[in-house]
Amino acid sequence: MQTRALGPFTVSAIGLGCMNICHAYGPPVPDAQAERLLLAALDDGVTHFDTAALYGFGASETTVGRVLSAHRSRFTLASKCGMQGVDVKGDGQLVRVIDGRPATLRATCEAALKRLRTDVIDLYYLHRWDKQVPIEESVGALGDLVRAGKIRAVGLSEVSAATLRKAHAEHPIAAVQTEYSLWTRNPEIAVLEACREIGAAFVAFSPTGRGFLAGDLDPAAFDAKDIRRSMPRFAAPHWAANQRLLPAYRAIAAEAGCTPAQLSLAWVLHKAPHIHALPGTANIEHLRENNRAADVVLSADLMQRLDALINPRTVSGSRYSDQANREVDTEVFAD
């Protein structure tokens, strides 16, 4: 596996997002399956594992800690704060809350360290910018955690270039994590270049388009709690329009000698050397398939054809619901 710089760390160019084992795309997988997946990733050369307090309301961090803490020296550990489950009504039911207050971030970090069974988190992201709290205050609190030895580097997720620069002026930002794939190009507006200018890595989550670019999806078969059910691109009439992009896309994958999933990941890695691909899966075969994408070489002609085929003008529908769009800070393309 090729490696790339992730802030002060050198990691595999393709990491593993640890959301899928317990959150967002269906019910949690059995503990034994999650353990096999994480250990298989480590054995297959993955050295960048990414989780969050939000995923399974702590379940992902707990699993990562239980399975990988014995191998802590072999990988770079990333997690996130600022969005987590909170018992708002006091009835034991957790709801997702965005909270970037310094005291909350410190408490979330302490809880994460326990769940992850580690003394320090290598890269700690602000999962969402809490727009009720100046970004400088939230990032300043994360800077305090660096100085306290609780974390080693600070990251941001789903922020604009302007917010990134404000944050970086308060404390160095090592990485920005935002959705990026052929069918989600928002980072190309300004954030990719801002990351390059300040020397931050860019971590592309959902690089396979939440599975759209990886295989045959049927939104009607999604689990009742699958977050894609709320995403316009997977609903009528957008879904039918987007499916029309796939035959030509699959033909390009065959021409490149790789699978559609590998093509999506290779495209991300070919866009710039400071970009990392962070797919997620609960399937070991998919994991290994994804990792082989680091070996795929795409010609300039193929890259241009992919860019022309799937882009903001040809993809139908917003990537998020109206509520989710309000919660992020990323730039958007004009209609």
In whole angstroms, give the CA distance from residue 177 to residue 117: 24
Q: What is the DSSP letter of 120?
A: -
Block residue for tokens 């100046």: 134
| Token output for 40 | 């298989």
Mapping DSSP to helix (H, G, I), strand (E, B) and coil, where does residue 101 land? coil
Q: Which of 22, 96, 14, 127 is nearest to 66 (CA)?
A: 22
E strand residue ranges, 27-132: 48-50, 76-81, 83-86, 95-98, 121-126
SS3 category, 126: strand
Q: Which residue of the set 55, 124, 125, 180 is catalytic?
A: 55
Taking the CA atoms of 36, 175, 317 and 215 in sequence, report the sign of the dihedral they define.
Answer: negative
- What gap in Å lies between CA 43 and CA 181, rounded to an integer? 26
d(CA 19, CA 29) in angstroms, rounded, equals 11
Question: Both tokens of residue 220?
Answer: 């009607």
Whole-Å CA distances, 117 to 23, 40, 70, 71, 292: 20, 20, 9, 11, 30
In contact, 288 and 250? CB cutoff 8 Å: no
> Among residues 62, 44, 46, 43, which one has the least CA distance to residue 54?
62
Write out the two tokens for 147: 């100085």
Q: Is 25 a catalytic residue?
A: no
225/287 Cα distance (integer angstroms): 23
Distances, alpha carbon 322 to alpha carbons 211, 326, 327, in Å:
21, 6, 9
Residues catalogued as catalytic: 55
